[in-house]
Structure 1
Amino acid sequence: MKKHFLLTALLFCAGAAAHAQSYSLFNFKDFSGWHMDVPAMDKDTSVKAPFIIRNGLLVSLADPQGHLITDSTYENYQLEVQYRFAAKPGNCGVLVHASTPRVLYAMFPKSIEAQLMHENAGDFWCIGEDIAVPDMEKRRGPKENWGTTEGKGRRILNLTDNSENPVGEWNTMKLECRGNEIKVWINGQLVNHGTNCTASKGSIALQAEGSEVEFRKVEITPLSKKKRK
């Protein structure tokens, strides 16, 4: 009886410890731990920031375009982002393994983007970094066009349709970045899985690009590099 109780207690403690590892990257009160990179704000101090906190939510206003980037870098983690297009559908994205700023179109940091764009959530976009998926030519286009810079085939289509909820409803994107692999789920459906990524760590960024998006959760869970068997 005592052994059974001890085992149960140990399992409970282990589970509690694992759960305790998850923490929010954003406090929804201010921008502590993050910085904005918005080219339009470089020389014009009158330009309003495209990221605000409103009614306890982080809001990307879409214009001017730019990124909200974590000050810290991360590797081997699961990221959960809850978001919605509250008014009208449009474009936005979550960038992982972000590093050198403005390597693409003088705005996008070197990274892999997990697309949030309405009806395209879960697409990969290669921004100075690269990643591989099965059926590459079917999902990325002719091989001779592949690349990670302007004018190249940087988009890798996701695996599913109809994974997103209707506009105005909340969606959950989960990303698992472990070693050189990235997996993406939308509302519980696996929508992309890439391997041989050319980066395995970096900052995390949210976009202002295309449409207003609200975020109510940005939570990270550290993972071990190797999968548990």
Structure 2
Amino acid sequence: MNRRELIANSACLALSSLLPLSTKAAEAETGWRPLFDGKSLDGLRFYQEGVGDVDKLGTVSIDKGGILHFLPPSYKGTTAPPGHISTVAEWENYHLRLDFRYGETRWPPRKLQRRNSGILYHMGPETDRLFPDCVEFQLEEGDVGDAIMVNTLGLQGPSLGGTPLWPNWIPAFPSDYQTPVRAGIYSRQWHKHTGGYERLDEWNRVDLYAFDDQAAHLVNGRIVNTIFKMLKTDASGNKVPLTRGRIALEMEWAEVMFRNVMIRPLDHKAIDRIKAQGSD
């Protein structure tokens, strides 16, 4: 092999080390697994307000490329009550990643309002209802990354130099919980995000780190919100740490699509690395 060939081969080897791994190789390397397999709703359950737990109207379709489509053009309903699909299993200590984008169609009573969806996490095992007890990673236009505590509580990470506190709570900070807003059976805290990184009418990648009693919301690779010391009310009426639950993808009167819905468990070593350096 002459000098020119040696340099060319070395350059190819160096370049190949920078190329992304195939999806399967990346999954094997990092522990990612599909939460939605792109072919069926196995391991998931459906709920739509006023319709129930059977999708009678084609509310959810699986499009080419494994895209999960809520309220697609083939939807048979004349109205579009909100709902969600949720995991049967409960999850704790994980990193969730997915891509989402809005469709064009909006439905009354929000036909003139912002398109809306969300990721619901730490849902309890109780029967599904319109707004289950959970934490919502808000996916509404203009509010992507907000955290809504539905019948739950959390301390929002203070903004430090324009970015939310992460990965460790600082004991010197006040630990008084924001007073929830109550409406009927619902009690809500609404923690607004920092920074605007969403892209309208394009695919957006969002990440959720949820471990112990804290969580971080990322939009297109940037942390926009963090929640600490999350609490729920147990069957005895006591406030206890909120650390686990089912995961759901939501629809609220607007067409929306999801793809590449992946999750990876975070073990104690991974959590320790995140607490030490902010990422795994």
Task: Pick the TM interval, shorter chain.
Answer: 0.7 to 0.9
Report the secondary structure of 1:193's partner residue: strand
Match of 1:146 in 2: 180
Q: Which amino acid aligns with 1:165?
A: R
Quick check: which one's strand share is greater? 2
Over 3 Å counting, the alpha-carbon distance change for 1:49 and 1:100 in structure 2 is farther
Deviation by residue 1:162-190 (Cα, 9 ceiling, x = unmatched): 210122x1000100001001101000111
1:38 and 1:30 mapped to 2: Cα distance? 18
Tell me, yes or no, if structure 1 residue 156 matches structure 2 residue 173: no
AA partner of residue 159 (structure 1): T
The AA in structure 2 aligned to 1:221 is: R
Q: Is the 8 A contact 1:26 1:218 kept in 2?
A: yes
Please say if residues 148 and 191 of structure 2, whose CA atoms lie closer than 8 Å, have aligned partners that are also in contact: yes
**Of the candidates 269, 272, 279, which is equivalent to residue 227 of structure 1?**
272
Give the secondary-structure state (helix, strand or coil) at the position aligned to 1:227.
Answer: helix
CA RMSD of aligned residues (A): 2.9
TM score, norm. by length of structure 2: 0.65
SS in 1 for 2:95: strand
1:197 — aligned with what? 230
Task: Calculate percent identity across the aligned residue pairs.
Answer: 26
Q: Does 1:53 align with 2:98?
A: no
1:84 corresponds to: 101
Greater Cα radius of gyration, structure 1 or 2: 2
Structure 1 length-normalised TM: 0.79
Structure 1 distance, partners of 2:245, 2:88, is 10
Aligned to 1:28: 38
Distance 1:113 1:60 in 2: 18
Contiguous gaps of at least 5 residues in structure 2: 1-24, 73-79, 106-113, 160-176, 232-241
CA positional deviation for 1:111: 0.6
- Mapping for residues 5-24 of structure 1, pairs under 5 Å: 19-24=29-34
SS of residue matched to 1:114: strand
The residue type paired with residue 158 of structure 1 is: H
Query: Aligned-pair distance for 1:96?
Result: 0.8
- The 2-side partners of 1:16 and 1:144 are apart by 41
1:132 is aligned, of 155, 179, 187, to: 155
Please report how far the alpha carbon of residue 46 of structure 1 lies from its aligned counterpart in structure 2 after TM superposition.
8.8
Provide the C-alpha distance between the structure 2 equivalents of 1:153 and 1:27, rounded to a whole number of angstroms: 32
Aligned residues: 205
* TM-fit CA distance, 1:135: 5.0
Equivalent of 2:81, from 64, 67, 71? 64
Distance 1:179 1:187 in 2: 24
Paired residue type of 1:211 = A
